[in-house]
């Protein structure tokens, strides 16, 4: 531990200062009144400084000695007058203590500033990590949605290709059947011509036989019978060909029904395509969000790199400051050792003179030593924290690079998805146009049958499907400009056109003729008679004209109060 000076309490003798009564000016006070001590050390305190008096200046000390004062005198400037007559003075190492205190205070301020900077860096690092986690969650959710839409598009594409292939096969079969029907019709026309020629020959022979009452009557009758047999054979062949033609007509109707069902399926696919278009809009919006997320990730990456660069610079600067502080601490330790040596020397000299002046300085040095050790430990721990921040920089950089790669993959997937959706959208629009064309053709036919002429058409507009009609004797106009009866008949024509295109087996009409006048009712009844050969209809009506053309009539009547009964009449039995 070095050198030490001990003062046995058993040898302590309290000293008292006896001031001359005539000395007043320049006196500061007695040391025992100005200094403090711990309880139990009063004897030692009075032994050391009991007769010490503090005055203002050197002249005051000389004046006090001139009055015969026999104790020790100290001035505010540091001069000490001992009872043996010696005077001590000169500069003291007090300024070194003050400089050391200032250095310690500066180190404490630097330590507080570094702690605040470390706290700010930790908060910014936590914020960057939170933003990175949210971005990864959003990217995973978007990736799942893109995969689900891809599977749905593949399924719809397969269904659309299957429908197109079935439609092509049925169209080919229909064309073949129509060719066979045309050939049979030509053959029937030829047979009818041949039959007509044979009939003319038979009639000519009958005239010849009648003109020849005498002659070979039996021979002519035989020839006439042969011709009549040939005629019967040709008639039978014609009937057989007529049956074949009927079968072909039924087959043609069956193929047309299948084609109409395929058109209905195509309409459902178009509806799915429209829904897919809505999903495409949503996906495009999500794509914009994905691009925004990518941009946000890039900004976060740049900000994180910038912050980590600042953190690295701050860590390097802090490390340099710590090293500088360590060197300063080493210098302070050397200075403290030197001061301790000087203090021991002064204490030895003071003991020789019977005065201990180094107790306060020694206490200050011990306090400074404790603060120096504490600051050294805190600076060492602060250096480890900055090393950890540098290690986190590499991990964060790797995660940011991985997020950038995932963002690029999502962008490429989104571009491929948009290309496929645009292709499917084009196919859906083409098929939708075909469906509208087929529907418009059927609407024109039904309208012409219902009104006995005129024209009707369907057009694709921005707001939907436009309906334009021309009633016989009028110009083209929108359906809203027609009379009430004409609007009703136009709606009925559009309904039956949809039933024909979609291949419905039957329709239900609920009092659609209630608002029709007699002229329009006659058109409606004739229209029902025309269509009941190809379509079953259930009609709810109170109009007598409509009931007259029905095949089976059902009525509801009240047999008794609160009891309803149903009565059915087969109209074919009454025709």
What tens digit of pLDDT does each residue of 467-511 get? 888 888 887 777 777 888 888 888 898 889 888 888 888 889 999
Confidence of residue 167 (pLDDT cuts 50, 70, 90): low
Q: Quick count: other Cβ atoms within 10 Å of Cβ 327?
A: 10
Q: In angstroms, rounded to a whole number, what is the distance separating the alpha carbons of residues 123 and 494? A: 70
Q: In angstroms, rounded to a whole number, what is the distance separating the alpha carbons of residues 555 and 540? A: 10
Confidence of residue 251 (pLDDT cuts 50, 70, 90): low
Q: Specify which of 152-156, 354-358, 491-495, 532-536 reaches the highest per-range mean pLDDT.
A: 491-495
CATH of 9-90, one of 3.40.30.10, 3.30.450.20, 3.40.50.150, 3.30.70.1620: 3.30.70.1620
> What pLDDT sits at residue 62?
85
C-alpha distances in angstroms, 451 versus 407, 459, 525?
Answer: 63, 21, 12
Nearest to 57 by CA among 76, 41, 72: 76
> What pLDDT sits at residue 406?
74
The residue ranges of every structural domain in the chain are 9-90, 97-431, 505-575
Mean pLDDT, rounded, for 173-184:
64
Three-state helix/strand/coil letters over 178-200: HHHHHHHHHHHHHHHHHHHHHHH
Confidence of residue 263 (pLDDT cuts 50, 70, 90): low
Which is more confident, 262 or 373? 373
Q: Tokens 């020694």 map to which residue?
A: 362
> What pLDDT sits at residue 284?
56
Q: What percentage of the chain exceeds 70 in pLDDT?
A: 54
Mean pLDDT, rounded, for 36-51:
78
What tens digit of pLDDT does each residue of 335-368 get? 666 655 665 665 565 555 554 444 555 565 566 6
Q: Tokens 């009939």 map to which residue?
A: 199
Q: Quick count: other Cβ atoms within 10 Å of Cβ 74?
A: 20
CB-based contacts of 261, cutoff 8 Å, min separation 6: 502, 503
> What pLDDT sits at residue 540?
93
Q: E-assigned strands of 167-289?
A: none
pLDDT value at 566 more than 80: yes
Confidence of residue 95 (pLDDT cuts 50, 70, 90): very low
CB 71 within 8 A of CB 51: yes
What tens digit of pLDDT does each residue of 188-230 get? 566 556 556 655 655 665 565 455 544 545 655 565 566 566 6
> What pLDDT sits at residue 230?
60
Q: Specify which of 199-208, 361-370, 383-392, 413-422 reaches the highest per-range mean pLDDT.
A: 413-422
Q: What is the DSSP string of 300-325?
A: HHHHHHHHHHHHHHHHHHHHHHHHHH
Nearest to 301 by CA among 435, 398, 178: 398
CATH of 505-575, one of 3.40.50.300, 3.90.1640.10, 3.40.50.11540, 3.40.605.10: 3.40.50.300
Mean pLDDT, rounded, for 383-400:
61
pLDDT value at 571 more than 70: yes
Window from 41-50, 375-384, 511-520 with minimum mean pLDDT? 375-384
> For 456, which DSSP code?
E
Q: In angstroms, rounded to a whole number, what is the distance separating the alpha carbons of residues 15 and 51? A: 5
């Amino acid at each position: 531990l070095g050198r030490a000076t001990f003062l046995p309490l058993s040898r302590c003798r309290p000293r008292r200062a006896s001031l001359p009564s005539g000395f007043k000016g320049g006196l500061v006070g007695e040391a025992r009144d100005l200094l403090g001590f711990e309880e139990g050390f009063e004897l030692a305190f009075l032994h050391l400084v009991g007769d010490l008096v503090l005055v203002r200046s050197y002249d005051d000390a000389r004046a006090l000695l001139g009055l015969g004062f026999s104790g020790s005198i100290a001035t505010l400037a540091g001069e000490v007058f001992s009872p043996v007559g010696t005077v001590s003075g000169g500069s003291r190492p007090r300024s070194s203590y003050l400089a050391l205190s200032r250095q310690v205070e500066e180190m404490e301020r630097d330590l507080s500033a570094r702690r605040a900077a470390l706290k700010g860096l930790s908060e910014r690092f936590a914020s960057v990590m939170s933003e990175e986690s949210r971005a990864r969650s959003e990217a995973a959710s978007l990736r799942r949605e893109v995969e689900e839409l891809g599977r749905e598009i593949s399924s719809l594409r397969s269904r659309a290709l299957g429908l197109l292939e079935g439609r092509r096969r049925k169209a080919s079969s229909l064309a073949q059947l129509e060719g066979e029907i045309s050939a049979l019709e030509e053959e029937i026309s030829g047979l009818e011509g041949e039959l007509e020629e044979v009939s003319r020959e038979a009639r000519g022979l009958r005239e010849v036989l009648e003109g020849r009452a005498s002659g070979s009557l039996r021979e002519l009758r035989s020839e006439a019978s042969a011709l009549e047999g040939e005629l019967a054979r040709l008639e039978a062949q014609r009937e057989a060909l007529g049956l074949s033609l009927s079968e072909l007509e039924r087959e043609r109707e069956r193929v047309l029904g299948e084609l109409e069902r395929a058109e209905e399926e195509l309409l459902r696919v178009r509806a799915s395509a429209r829904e897919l278009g809505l999903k495409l809009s949503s996906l495009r919006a999500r794509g914009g969000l994905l691009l925004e997320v990518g941009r946000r990730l890039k900004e976060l990456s740049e900000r994180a790199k910038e912050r980590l660069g600042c953190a690295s610079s701050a860590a390097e600067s802090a490390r340099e400051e710590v090293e500088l502080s360590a060197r300063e601490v080493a210098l302070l330790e050397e200075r403290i050792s030197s001061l301790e040596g000087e203090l021991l020397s002064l204490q030895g000299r003071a003991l020789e003179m019977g005065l201990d002046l180094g107790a306060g300085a020694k206490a200050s040095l011990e306090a400074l030593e404790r603060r120096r050790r504490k600051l050294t430990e805190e600076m060492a721990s602060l250096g480890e924290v900055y090393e950890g921040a540098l290690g986190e920089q590499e991990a964060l950089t790797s995660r940011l690079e991985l997020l950038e790669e995932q963002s690029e993959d999502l962008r490429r997937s989104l571009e491929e998805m948009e290309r496929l959706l645009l292709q499917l959208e084009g196919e859906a629009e083409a098929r939708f146009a075909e469906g509208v064309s087929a529907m418009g053709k059927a609407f024109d036919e039904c309208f012409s049958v219902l009104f006995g002429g005129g024209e009707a058409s369907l057009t694709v507009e921005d707001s939907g499907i436009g309906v334009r009609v021309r009633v016989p004797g009028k110009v083209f106009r929108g359906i809203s400009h027609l009379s009430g009866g004409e609007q009703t008949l136009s709606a009925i024509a559009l309904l039956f056109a949809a039933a024909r295109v979609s291949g419905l087996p039957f329709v239900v009409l609920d009092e659609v003729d209630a608002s029709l006048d007699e002229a329009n009712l006659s058109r409606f009844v004739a229209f029902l008679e025309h269509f009941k050969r190809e379509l079953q209809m259930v009609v709810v009506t109170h109009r007598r004209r409509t009931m007259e053309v029905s095949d089976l009539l059902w009525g509801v009547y009240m047999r008794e109060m609160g009891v309803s009964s149903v009565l059915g009449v087969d109209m074919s039995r009454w025709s």
